[in-house]
Amino acid sequence: MQNKANPKTRPPRKQRGNALLIFFLLVAMGMLSLLVSKLGSQPGLLQQNQVDQDSMNEARQALVGAILSAPRADARLPADLIVNDDTFVTARLNYARYALKPANETGNALWYAASGYSLLDTDSTHWLSLCDAAQPAANDIAIAILSPSEPLTTQTGRAPSAPAAQYLEGVTGTPIGCTANPSNADNNRILVRSASSVTFNDQLLVISRKELLSMHAGLAYREIATRLANYAQSNGDAYPDNATFSAAINTPPLPTWLLDDTSTPGEWIDALTYNQVATQQATLQIPGCAPITLAWDSTTSTNILTPPGNPQCP
């Protein structure tokens, strides 16, 4: 009987399929390992972004606290935040001034941009404008806090005295309702926010003029309401009429921030409208804010304010 050599046989089709599956799994695992390694080589990029966000929120609280603790009679931001009145500034945030943690503990050193105009000024060109690639521009911003994030490949000269362009950048093109090629490094009113990329990674947190206006108006309303209560209690449970309002609230003299340099009513009082609706009812209104109504309760010798709290400044 003649023996025939067994021909070389191919693996069954099922085995070939399993081999391919294993090959692709190994490739996928290799790519995943490379991705994890790459992320690990950029120490905590997402974590760093969160640290920057936390730093900006902390700076916002510190700035608002400082602004409200020493409001200005001319209704502008504190002098150390602006270079000149009626202008704009982009600068490093003063960590020591606002009792913030050093930059090396909280992430990247923060910058800020601010308007030097009065909060009572409604001209949109007098306020910072935030261009956003995803939505129409916002034109009513008093302060923007900026985190520059990690240096881009074009930012090779970061140092304490380095210009803004070594920390902040812009975008190419024209975002919705904005000028062409806006940049955060320019010392002007135009700021930009966009998705992070190899050419842009600034993060921004903004405080609007209306937010600050509402907070200041609340301070003014409460101060004046207290004085009107004192007046009513001493004058037969009646608020002053329109003609005697200024004298009534200025006894004793108003706080410094409600006065100007000549100790006469400053911008906040000049701008405020008082109207005696009845002997025991009056309204107060600061331009741009909803009015507040005061009703005198002679039983308890107190004001009833409607609405309570800070007024809305839509």
pLDDT tens digits, 225-254: 999 999 999 999 999 999 999 888 887 888
**Of the given ranges (22-31, 86-95, 176-185), which has the lowest mean pLDDT?**
22-31
Question: Which residue's entry shows tokens 């935030």?
Answer: 130
Domain end (from 176, 192, 209): 209
Residues 57 and 199 both lie in one domain: yes
In terms of Cα–Cα distance, which of 138, 150, 290, 279 is closest to 205? 138
Domain end (from 209, 243, 270): 209
CA–CA distance, 224 with 100 (Å, rounded to integer): 33
CA–CA distance, 39 with 47 (Å, rounded to integer): 11
Residues 82 and 176 both lie in one domain: yes
Domain end (from 209, 239, 261): 209
Boundaries of domain holding 268 = 212-306
Mean pLDDT of the 157-180 span: 86
**Residue 309: predicted pLDDT:** 73
Please check whether residue 285 lies inside any domain of the structure: yes
Q: Helix (H, G, I), strand (E, B), or coil: what is residue 45?
A: helix
CA 248 from chain centre, in angstroms, equals: 37
128-132 and 111-115 strand pairing: unpaired
Question: Which residue's entry shows tokens 């600068």?
Answer: 91
Residues 60 and 192 both lie in one domain: yes
Please check whether residue 11 lies inside any domain of the structure: no
Mean pLDDT of the 107-134 span: 87
CA–CA distance, 120 with 177 (Å, rounded to integer): 24
Number of domains in the chain: 2
Residues 184 and 295 both lie in one domain: no
Confidence of residue 39 (pLDDT cuts 50, 70, 90): very low
Burial class from Cβ neighbours inside 10 Å (0-12, 13-18, 19+) for residue 167 reads buried
Residues 141 and 201 both lie in one domain: yes
Q: Quote the percentage of the chain above a pLDDT of 70.
A: 80
Residues 114 and 189 both lie in one domain: yes
Q: Helix (H, G, I), strand (E, B), or coil: what is residue 294?
A: strand
pLDDT tens digits, 194-211: 888 999 999 999 999 999
pLDDT tens digits, 290-299: 899 999 999 9
| Mean of pLDDT over the chain | 82
Residues 110 and 181 both lie in one domain: yes
**Of the given ranges (45-54, 153-162, 225-234, 280-289), which has the lowest mean pLDDT?**
45-54
Residues 123 and 194 both lie in one domain: yes
Complete DSSP assignment for 108-157: SPPEEEEE-S-TT---GGGSEEEEETTEEEEEEEEEEEEE--SPPTT---
The pLDDT of residue 312 is above 90: no
Please check whether residue 36 lies inside any domain of the structure: no
The model's pTM: 0.77
Please check whether residue 104 lies inside any domain of the structure: yes
Confidence of residue 14 (pLDDT cuts 50, 70, 90): low
Question: Which residue's entry shows tokens 């790459």?
Answer: 38
Buried b (16+ CB within 10 A) or exposed e, 30-60: eeeeeeeeeeeeeeeeeebbebbeebbebbb
pLDDT tens digits, 258-268: 765 444 556 78
Query: 10 Å Cβ neighbour count for 313?
Result: 21
Please check whether residue 17 lies inside any domain of the structure: no
Please check whether residue 53 lies inside any domain of the structure: yes
Please check whether residue 26 lies inside any domain of the structure: no
32 vs 134, residue with greater confidence: 134
Residues 269 and 281 both lie in one domain: yes
Residues 243 and 274 both lie in one domain: yes
Residues 216 and 117 both lie in one domain: no
Phi and psi (nearest 5°) for 137?
A: -65, 150
Residues 189 and 66 both lie in one domain: yes
Please check whether residue 19 lies inside any domain of the structure: no
